[in-house]
Amino acid sequence: MQYFEDMPLGMRVESTETYTFTAEEIKAYASKWDPMPFHIDEALAAQTPLGKLFACSTHVISAGVKLAHTIMDKEVAAVAGLGWNDVRFPRPVLVGDTLKVVTEVVDRRESRSKPDRGIVTTQCSLINQEGDLMAEYKIATLVLKRPR
Amino acid sequence: MQYFEDMPLGMRVESTETYTFTAEEIKAYASKWDPMPFHIDEALAAQTPLGKLFACSTHVISAGVKLAHTIMDKEVAAVAGLGWNDVRFPRPVLVGDTLKVVTEVVDRRESRSKPDRGIVTTQCSLINQEGDLMAEYKIATLVLKRPR
């Protein structure tokens, strides 16, 4: 189990696994959750300035969460997810893009009210095959301290 | 088409459609995107303090985006999504919960660099069948002004 003490400021982990956005995955996800024409219609997407299908935001974030699972060697002693901040999409994720995730502990503090836990903020960066930053977000998590 | 001028501060819209989190949907989504045991194993979830399966965060946000589509009577003249902020999950979304979305324009300003567009920030609130706030987030969107 990974406790608050095991997550120092600056700890950085990079996934070895990746996720590729195929046309089938982009269309299947967006058809159900975010049915905008440029996410589901390849002929129409070909006429936009991007010239290709691109993935909807929630598909990109879901892929980030999926990849984050592949880099946890131990389960985090998480009590609750406190929320996400600064979710940004600097570039559209196009069909064929292959993403990895890089996570970094950017803030951590002890809980003011409960001495057995702390709050860890992790910056997650989704990077494509060219090394470009495609999406990023911060996740704050309430994590137990190591039991004494 | 809905332009910047058509989105005044305080404009509030509530969905008439809803989305229900069945055990099948919760397990199918989480199995693919966020395979934590308490999202996919009903027997294990029954032993947790919640006593029930609950949906993963990205499933909840995706449902919010899906419901937001049902309240747009006109397509928004959106140029780009600028990001999300203050994503919060005050309560876990449990199996059987039925959510609606309420959207409200909480900030708007003209673009400093481009006079033909503005930035609209919308607060999205996901409310369950009891009237409880289950999730909320702010989305900032770059929107065209009405052509002259």
- What pLDDT score was predicted for residue A74? 77
Residue A83 belongs to domain with CATH number:
3.10.129.10
- The pTM score is 0.93
Domain encompassing residue B65: 4-144
**How close is the nearest chain B Cα to the Cα of A10, in Å?**
23
Among partner residues B33, B65, B88, which is closest to A66 by beta-carbon distance? Answer: B33
Query: Coil, helix or strand for B61?
Result: helix
User: What are B23-62's pLDDT values in tens digits?
Assistant: 999 999 999 999 988 899 999 999 988 899 999 999 999 9
**CB atoms B62 and A66 under 8 Å:** no
Count of the separate structural domains present in chain A: 1
User: What are A66-104's pLDDT values in tens digits?
Assistant: 999 898 777 888 888 889 999 999 999 999 999 999 999
Residue closest to A57 by CA, chosen among B30, B87, B134 = B87
**How close is the nearest chain B Cα to the Cα of A88, in Å?**
5
Phi-psi region of B105 (alpha: psi -120 to 50; beta: other; left: phi over 0): beta
Grade residue B115 by pLDDT with cuts at 50, 70 and 90.
Answer: very high
- What pLDDT score was predicted for residue B107? 98
Among partner residues A33, A81, A89, which is closest to B81 by beta-carbon distance? Answer: A89
Compute the distance between CA of residue B138 and CA of residue B148 in angstroms, rounded to an integer: 30
User: What are A8-50's pLDDT values in tens digits?
Assistant: 999 999 999 999 999 999 999 999 999 988 899 999 999 988 8
CB A108 within 8 A of CB A120: yes
- What pLDDT score was predicted for residue A146? 95
Query: Coil, helix or strand for B54?
Result: strand
Q: Cα A121–A125–A129 angle (5° rounding)?
A: 165
Query: Coil, helix or strand for A125?
Result: strand
Q: Which residues of B42-81 are buried (b: 16+ CB within 10 A; e: fewer)?
A: eeebeeeeeebbbbbbbbbbbbbbbbbeeeeeeebbeeeb
